[in-house]
């Protein structure tokens, strides 16, 4: 009987950890602004992970790289390949931006799946991946949109805006609408997929034993990485498109 009660209590704690609180947030008042404190906290953790990892690697660079340095060089080469494929020969200055987007989203998604954020109790809401908040994905999409316009304007000047009346001025409203929908689609694609993955796990934990949800959680790690790659690839493609000046 004691073993049974212990097992039930353990499953209950795991269920509580896997629960998702919707529509509740822990706010900080900064001046006249209210911010989602849980998003700032988890974002700082993700940024700290990236900074500490980079510092540990570059402090002792080797001509013949060891495992850690070799892994980071592989990641850098992968990001450069994505940037070069989508942007073209002028990809160089955009590698840091594309790499930052990819690494931040990737580590954010994985931190939400691997770190036991829900063990830390907040007065309201709960800690989760930064990309689990629509404000974060909108901010990343707007950064991409700003970079998109900056790339086009820096390459062509005011002549960049002539693309809106090509191939005919009749398409002006559609071309303008397209530029507004790009960040919108980026934001909702990332946010929707991350939230849907968490909800699927919660529903499965509610309906079946943990044996089934655990493989789904590992599948979520894979799809989280794919989402980071898709976002970075589309951002690079939009920047390359603005520099080329055609659709």
Is residue 213 in some structural domain? yes
- Residue 222: per-residue pLDDT: 77
Please, which pLDDT band fits residue 4 given cuts at 50, 70 and 90? very low
Is residue 73 in some structural domain? yes
**What mean pLDDT is reported for the chain?**
77
- Residue 223: per-residue pLDDT: 77
- Residue 205: per-residue pLDDT: 63
- Residue 167: per-residue pLDDT: 77
- Residue 89: per-residue pLDDT: 85
Is residue 92 in some structural domain? yes
Q: Tens digits of per-residue pLDDT, 108-135?
A: 888 877 776 667 776 666 777 788 778 8
Total domain count, the chain: 1
Q: Which domain holds residue 79?
A: 62-245
Is residue 32 in some structural domain? no
- Residue 246: per-residue pLDDT: 47
- Residue 17: per-residue pLDDT: 43
Rounded to 5 degrees, what angle do the CA atoms 182, 47, 117 make? 95
Residue 203 predicted with pLDDT over 50: yes
Q: Tens digits of per-residue pLDDT, 26-59?
A: 667 777 777 777 888 888 999 999 999 888 888 8
**When comparing pLDDT for 111 and 79, which is higher?**
79
Is residue 125 in some structural domain? yes
Is residue 2 in some structural domain? no
Is residue 166 in some structural domain? yes
**When comparing pLDDT for 2 and 66, which is higher?**
66
Is residue 150 in some structural domain? yes
Residue 70 predicted with pLDDT over 50: yes
- Residue 21: per-residue pLDDT: 47
Q: What is the 3-state secondary structure (H, E, C) of the chain?
A: CHHHHHHHHHHHHHHHHHCCCCCCCCEEEECCEEEEHHHHHHHHHHHHHHHHHHHHHHCCCCCCCCHHHHHHHHHHHHHHHHHHHHHCCCCHHHHHHHHHHHHHHHHHHHHHHHCCHHHCCCCCCCCCCHHHCHHHHHHHHHHHHHHHHHHHHHHHHHHHHHHHHCCCHHHHHHHHHHHHHHHHHHHHHHHHHHHHHHHHHHHHHHHCCCCCHHHHHHHHHHHHHHHHHHHHHHHHHHHHHHHHCCC
Please, which pLDDT band fits residue 3 given cuts at 50, 70 and 90? very low
Residue 159 predicted with pLDDT over 70: yes
Q: Tens digits of per-residue pLDDT, 162-180?
A: 777 777 778 788 878 887 7
Residue 81 predicted with pLDDT over 90: yes
- Kindly report the pTM of this predicted structure: 0.77
């Amino acid at each position: 009987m004691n073993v049974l009660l212990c097992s039930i209590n353990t499953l209950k704690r795991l269920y509580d950890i896997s629960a998702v609180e919707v529509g509740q947030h822990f706010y900080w008042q900064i001046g006249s602004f209210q911010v989602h404190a849980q998003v700032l906290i988890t974002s700082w953790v993700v940024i700290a992970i990236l900074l500490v990892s980079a510092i540990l690697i570059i402090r002792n660079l080797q001509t013949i790289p060891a495992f850690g340095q070799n892994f980071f060089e592989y990641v850098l080469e992968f990001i450069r390949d994505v940037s070069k494929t989508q942007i073209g020969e002028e990809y160089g200055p955009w590698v840091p931006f594309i790499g930052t987007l990819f690494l931040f989203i990737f580590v954010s998604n994985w931190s939400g799946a691997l770190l036991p954020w829900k063990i830390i109790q907040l007065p309201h809401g709960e800690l989760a991946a930064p990309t689990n908040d629509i404000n974060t994905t909108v901010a990343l999409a707007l950064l991409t949109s700003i970079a998109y316009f900056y790339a086009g304007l820096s390459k062509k000047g005011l002549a960049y805006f002539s693309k809106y009346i090509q191939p005919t001025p009749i398409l002006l409203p559609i071309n303008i609408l397209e530029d507004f929908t790009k960040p919108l689609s980026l934001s909702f694609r990332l946010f929707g997929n991350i939230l849907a993955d968490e909800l699927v796990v919660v529903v499965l934990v509610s309906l079946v034993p943990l044996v089934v949800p655990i493989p789904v959680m590992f599948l979520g790690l894979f799809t989280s990485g794919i989402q980071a790659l898709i976002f970075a690839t589309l951002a690079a493609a939009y920047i390359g498109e603005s520099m080329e000046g055609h659709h």
